[in-house]
Structure 1
């Protein structure tokens, strides 16, 4: 699979560890260096702003998708290749997914997790066949990864669906994992036996 466009989910904060900012910048630079367009939430603040600024500074193409309410709150980025303003959060996520060949989550909070899990669920249900990845900066996602494995062990998530989510602490390695990923078609439901 070739990646022309990658959606990045990340925090509107930079977090407490400076390594998160460094990783966001490295991801933006890596996307630009590989000719991959960055699609993201359109913010100028937090890791969102860092990844966008780094991609732009490295000569990359950056498309931001932001709801009107957040743009009105003056958090929209004014220095992008293109900033699209949409009606709300649902439209934002749908448009980001439409424009992207893959998805990467940097460290972030509730919004980042919600975006990641929604697009992962869409893949699980067969609405798309696009790879997903975690940029696991300083083991940020290690506890989540263990919990996801627990969901498989307990029979709530199928192993092929768990395998849809790639993980690396290196942007270039993660991009390669996404390029190499092959979708597996398997029903979401473990069984159809009535309880």
Structure 2
């Protein structure tokens, strides 16, 4: 008995959702086809009706994971009506974000893998970096330095979350998030203040 195109598309999306969560928590080398398909309620044999290869699945899952972050970043920026940049920084450097890699920003766990990945993977990663840079730069009233400041901000955000997840000492992890958050907001307030 065959599946309709709608059922096939829904199944494909379900497998991608599971795989995108797994690549954020386990990396791109760990998720196995059999485990992913089992979690999706499918047999290993059904895999090839949806994907050409494991690499195809991982590339699609990584792209999906990366794209999911845009809406979250936009919501975070809108949370603080007085200072959208501060709202974004607070949300990104929150302990909740650090502690939820399965649903967090995929730039953090996928950066190294993208650097070693194929062109499609790198293009998906680059697309998300560029999307975030545009979003962050758009929060700045001073368009002249907005892109450079967005690059600095995004690099600090991703780096702080990466390090805060990697260190063993929870207090030090908290300190990393708090300090980078404070410094980014301090820097933004200095650069946006009118000069005398």
TM exceeding 0.5:
no
- Normalising to structure 1: TM-score of the pair? 0.31
- Normalising to structure 2: TM-score of the pair? 0.31
Higher helix proportion = 2
Higher strand proportion = 1
